Amino acid sequence: MSSTDVDQQIEIWKMKRLIKSLSLARGGTSMISLVMPPKDQISIMNNTLTNEYGTASNIKSRVNRLSVLSAITSAQQCLKHYSRVPPKGLVVYCGTILTDEGKEKKVSIHFEPFKPINTSLYLCDNKFHVEALQELLDNDSSFGFIIIDGNGCLYGRVTGNTREIITQFTVDLPKKHGRGGQSAQRFGRIREEKRHHYLRKVAETATQVFISNNRVNETGIILAGSAEFKNDLMKSDLFDPRMRAKVINIVDVSYGGVNGFDQAISLSQECLSNVKLVQETKLIEKLFDEISLDTGKYSYGIMDTLKALDMGAVETLIVWESLDVNRVILNGPDGIEVERFFSPAQEADRSNYVDKETGAELEVKEKMPMLEWLTEIYKEKGAALEFVTDRSTVGSQFVKGFGGMGGLLRYKMDVAMLEGDDNDMYYDDDEEIVDNDDDDYFF
């Protein structure tokens, strides 16, 4: 996976965390959700907020009035950071929420989403509305279609529930005939030459349509057609090997053109829905293969994998996207900082905050989710970061049997022999890992 793909995957993971936090947040009636597509104007939204401020000034309840006015003011302050709407749109969430302890907390978030957003929204409610962000995640994968037959070729793209025809062209190929004599070989040769030129044009156009910056833009490619052209294209040296590696399905359709495109989409539904699952399954199976063959080029479990990561030995870091572990920095004896990684149960156990030699209580200096910390440091450690789910059989096995964290190493090494204080890692790999929906807010 390219660095661009990894960066986008991390942006998607951060968006999932944000959506989860926002959707769990509850407050009064002063939680503002504001979404602006790229075509909108900041000045128009500022006018809308000014009018809303005037309307809110008439709210009878003093508490509600001040709360709504404060949220609108926060939204106006957020818009001051922008002279125009960013190229991919703008999302703003402002308001006062209630924490788990029942205390009020002001929230003010503004950002440009990781991909263009087409929704326009302004709501003041007792919750944040994240439907537009969720839709971005649902539609994050795009698939290229090449519909080819003896009459022409169509190139299309499917993203979520949106179908797009990129380009198409027709061709007039000579048909087979029953002429004999000396002309038979000449006609046959002309026919094969024109078929070859047609395949060349199909392959070259596919490269222009689906490849930019030396990489394939689509998650997968589907070849479809009513004749053998699709198979000939797949086997041809004219077809770019980067796209051949992305082909996830070859289907027979009864038509060419737009009708064939629609039929190919219908026949590829299962394939399209499972492509991400297939990719992460292959990645986890690669780790399992290294373990079963005992190549030494692997690590699993949080402690061993972090040791290998710190050594710069991890080439691909594989982590369960819902792994609930916090990285905690404690002030140890003589002012020395101590790094710990705690599950929620271990974090609640006060004995983990006591120095074992002196019995002194250790003070928490810093705490953050381990996954968030990994997204910040994986590049400086020279690793690629891959998030996986537990929806597949191997994914579930990876989470329950291997601690939800592992690594493919650059070279053979015995991770267990690495020097390090095992007490730096309190997390118990045998402990059952549960996806707790009651996570803290990560604002």
Q: Tell me the C-alpha distance between 195 and 185, whole Å.
A: 15
Q: What are the pLDDT tens digits along the chain (443 aa)? A: 556 666 777 887 888 888 888 888 887 778 999 999 988 999 999 999 999 999 989 988 888 888 889 999 999 999 999 999 999 899 999 988 887 777 888 889 999 988 788 888 999 888 899 888 887 776 567 899 999 998 999 999 887 656 789 999 999 887 765 555 556 666 667 778 898 999 999 999 999 999 988 889 888 999 999 878 999 999 999 999 999 999 999 999 998 999 999 899 888 888 777 677 777 888 999 999 999 999 999 999 998 999 999 999 999 999 998 899 999 988 877 777 888 899 888 888 888 888 777 777 888 888 889 998 999 899 899 999 999 988 878 889 999 999 999 999 999 988 776 655 544 444 444 444 444 433 433 34
| pTM (whole model) above 0.85 | no
The dihedrals phi and psi of 303, each to the nearest 5 degrees, come to -65, -50
Write the burial class of residue 306 (CB in 10 Å: 0-12 exposed, 13-18 middle, 19+ buried): buried
- Residue 291, classed as helix, strand or coil, is helix
The dihedrals phi and psi of 304, each to the nearest 5 degrees, come to -65, -40
